[in-house]
């Protein structure tokens, strides 16, 4: 009887640990309120620009890539979409071209780019794999956050809903969401917090 009780306790603790891991968000990004002028990717002026910054070997990010495919399929206005995969220096050529890279590259109208040493991640103030950011055609920040409901779990979520609302030219319920994923950069490669306030106007009339 005592052994059974201990076993049940161990199972309960294990399930709680897994639940806590899945539902604990990563470090939030602090993207600039205006599109970074030194970014090497181009801001679209005729539509919104969407940026996702994943780690190519973060298994949690597979759900984010799946949500991106769903978002692009449902968007009434297709944003100019970039997925910037981290590539640290000193690693083998094509290290970043994992199955996640190829999955993202297979999504129509999504451009996949290698982010050498996380330079773009730093420009966009990103610390967690799967971070997504949306800017309008004037380079104003509209949304920052994740597009999964939990770590590695696809399905309806606040981030995807907010972006779709913006692409419908509607005011979203929120302009940010938790991001669930692995740390994007090594410890110590964080950035100082800066105040940002996303705009909700999407297109100039």
Q: What is the DSSP string of 119-170?
A: HHHHHTT--BTTEEEEE-TTSBEEEEE-SSSBTTB-SS-HHHHHHHHHHTT-
Binning the chain into helix, strand and coil, the percentages to the nearest 5 are 30, 20, 55
Specify which of 13-22, 90-99, 189-198 reaches the highest per-range mean pLDDT. Answer: 90-99
> Distance (Å, rounded) from C-alpha 107 to C-alpha 103?
7
pLDDT band at 205 (very low <50, low <70, confident <90, very high): very low
Specify whether domain 45-185 bears CATH 3.40.30.10. Answer: yes
**Mean per-residue pLDDT for 73-98?**
94
Query: Which comes out higher in pLDDT, residue 173 or 71?
Result: 71
Q: Is the pLDDT of residue 117 over 90?
A: yes
53 has a pLDDT exceeding 70 = yes
* Whole-angstrom distance, CA of residue 161 vs CA of residue 34: 22
Whether the per-residue pLDDT at 18 is higher than 60: the answer is no
Whether 199 shows a pLDDT value over 70: the answer reads: no
Q: What residue segments make up the domains of the chain, in order of their start?
A: 45-185
* Average pLDDT of the segment spanning 77-83: 96
- Report the percent of the chain where pLDDT is more than 90: 64
For the residues 74-101, what does the mean pLDDT come to? 94
The C-alpha atoms of residue 100 and residue 66 are separated, in whole angstroms, by 10
Residue, of 11 and 49, whose pLDDT is higher: 49
Please tell me the least confidently modeled range out of 27-31, 169-173, 179-183, 196-200: 196-200
| Residue 200 pLDDT class (50, 70, 90 cuts) | very low
Instruction: Judge whether residue 85 has pLDDT over 90.
Output: yes
Query: Which residue would you say has higher pLDDT here, 100 or 149?
Result: 100
Q: Tokens in use for 31?
A: 């993207």
């Amino acid at each position: 009887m005592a052994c059974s009780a201990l076993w049940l306790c161990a199972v309960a603790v294990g399930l709680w640990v897994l639940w806590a891991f899945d539902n604990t968000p990563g470090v939030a990004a602090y993207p600039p309120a205006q599109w970074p002028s030194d970014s090497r990717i181009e801001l679209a002026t005729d539509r919104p620009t969407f940026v996702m910054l994943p780690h190519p070997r973060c298994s949690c990010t597979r759900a984010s890539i799946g949500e991106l495919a769903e978002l692009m399929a449902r968007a009434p206005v297709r944003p100019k979409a970039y997925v910037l995969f981290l590539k640290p220096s000193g690693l083998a050529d094509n290290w970043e071209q994992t199955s996640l890279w190829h999955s993202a590259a297979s999504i129509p109208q999504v451009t996949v780019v290698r982010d050498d040493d996380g330079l773009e991640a730093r420009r966009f103030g990103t610390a967690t794999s799967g971070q997504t950011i949306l800017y309008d055609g004037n380079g104003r920040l509209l949304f920052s956050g994740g597009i999964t409901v939990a770590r590695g779990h696809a399905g309806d979520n606040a981030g995807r809903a907010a972006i779709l609302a913006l692409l419908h030219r509607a005011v979203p319920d929120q302009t940010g969401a938790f991001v669930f994923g692995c740390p994007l950069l090594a410890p110590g490669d964080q950035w100082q917090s800066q105040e940002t306030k996303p705009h909700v106007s999407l297109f100039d009339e």
